[in-house]
Amino acid sequence: MHSALSRRQWAFDLFLAVVAAAAAIAQLVIPNNDGYFGGPMWLNVVVSLLRTVPLAARRVWPVPVAVVVFGSDILTSLCVPHTSTFWGTVLPMATATYSAARWSDMRRSLLVLPLPVAAFALYPIHMRSFGGWEDILFPLMILWPTFIAGYLINRLLQQRHDLKEALRQLAEQRDEHSRHVLLEERTRIAREMHDVLAHGVTVMVVQTGAARMELDESATAARESLLAVEATGRQVIGELRRTLSLLRLGDDLPPSGHPSPGLADLPELAESMRKAGLTVDLHVPGQVEADPGRELAVYRVVQEALTNSLRHAGRTRVRVRVTADPHLEVEVSDTGPRHRDDRGSRLGGGHGLIGMKERVTMYGGRLLAEPRGSGFVVHAAFPPVERVR
């Protein structure tokens, strides 16, 4: 149960053993009435050292140290009378009992529990002055509580260690999940951007080809330029498809070739959410000048925000407002009520907010998603498109 000890821990245990040994020998030498005295002085000094010096290794070998501390006393009690004092007997035994429970596993530490009973039950064999119930119960009332205290501290610290390890693993899993979600969402965005770009480039290629066919036979330079534009466009489409094939995560992605949704599809989206139980108030200006990519980003932000409102707030009222002056913005706000843990669940992990942020950030915009009043608001703002003059 112990780990590598620091120098400070080694120094403390060595200091404890030296002080305990000095106190035990001092109590033998200085006349006093605190204990039961008998046997030769040299034997009492040796036994006192056997009880105290091993305490220096109490964290490294907690159970063997306890066996040595109690065993030296038990073996001596079986053979000859010897002195038993508080500083030289009870205190080292209490330290050894606590250390066995604190620094070893429960099964091994239980081997130490009968030793105090044996030590004080056998001591009266050659020390007739010791042996009343109060003489045996007093040290046991000190030693057993120290064992319980060591065991409880051991369990509490082990549980704290296990909890920290579980939290560390949970954080790693959360980070791994976030990376996976981010990669998956970026792949979906890449697929949709492929549709947008491929559509636009295809139109350019077709129009270029049509313009080339309308040119006069004498316009050789212009025809060559248009041929170059047309060839480049077809090459770009091929590169887009090859790049997309590298990004695909699996066959669960939506099939390519379908037109990407935009602002014109928001009423249909709102109607589908109304059928699911939301009360959706949709405000979209009639004329909005936005490229297909930004329209797709706005559509996905609204779609995910409405889904979150339905999931977390239930049948509530949601207000969707799209503005285009001076730049494209969208705000989706619901009125709740939310469950107590909604704030954590909405702002935590998952595909929704990660996907929104990726789409908005891709165009240099900013996303705000936070509780407001009793509800929740999602606001996305896109910078204006720089016009080529």
Looking at residue 240, its pLDDT comes to 66
Pairing assessment for the beta strands 366-372 and 329-334 based on DSSP bridges:
unpaired
3-state secondary structure the chain: CCCCCCHHHHHHHHHHHHHHHHHHHHHHHCCCCCEECCCCHHHHHHHHHHHHHHHHHCCCCHHHHHHHHHHHHHHHHHHCCCCEEHHHHHHHHHHHHHHHHHHCCHHHHHHHCCHHHHHHHHHHHCCCCCCCHHHHHHHHHHHHHHHHHHHHHHHHHHHHHHHHHHHHHHHHHHHHHHHHHHHHHHHHHHHHHHHHHHHHHHHHHHHHHHHHHHCCCCCHHHHHHHHHHHHHHHHHHHHHHHHHHHHCCCCCCCCCCCCCCCHHHHHHHHHHHHHHCCEEEEECCCCCCCCHHHHHHHHHHHHHHHHHHHHHHCCCEEEEEEECCCCCEEEEEECCCCCCCHHHHHHCCCHHHHHHHHHHHHCCCEEEEEEECCEEEEEEECCCCCCCC
Contact between 309 and 270 under an 8 Å Cβ cutoff? The reply is no
Looking at residue 231, its pLDDT comes to 72
| Closest by Cα among 280, 279, 244, 284 to 262 | 284
Looking at residue 289, its pLDDT comes to 67
Show Cβ contacts of residue 198 under 8 Å, excluding neighbours closer than 6 positions.
237, 240, 241
What is the rounded CA–CA span in Å between residue 172 and residue 121?
Answer: 55
Show Cβ contacts of residue 145 under 8 Å, excluding neighbours closer than 6 positions.
none
Contact between 318 and 280 under an 8 Å Cβ cutoff? The reply is yes
| Closest by Cα among 308, 307, 305, 337 to 321 | 305
Q: Which two tokens stand for residue 372?
A: 């407001």
| Closest by Cα among 222, 389, 209 to 201 | 209
The whole-model pTM stands at 0.50
Q: Looking up tokens 């928001």, which residue turns up?
A: 266
What is the rounded CA–CA span in Å between residue 371 and residue 364?
Answer: 24
CA distances from 173 to 121, 137, 162, 223, 345 (A): 56, 53, 16, 58, 17
> How many degrees, rounded to 5, is the angle at CA 321 between CA 320 and CA 325?
165
Q: Flag residues of the chain having pLDDT under 50.
A: 1-2, 249-257, 339-350, 387-389
Looking at residue 262, its pLDDT comes to 83
Peptide bond into 337 cis (omega under 30): yes
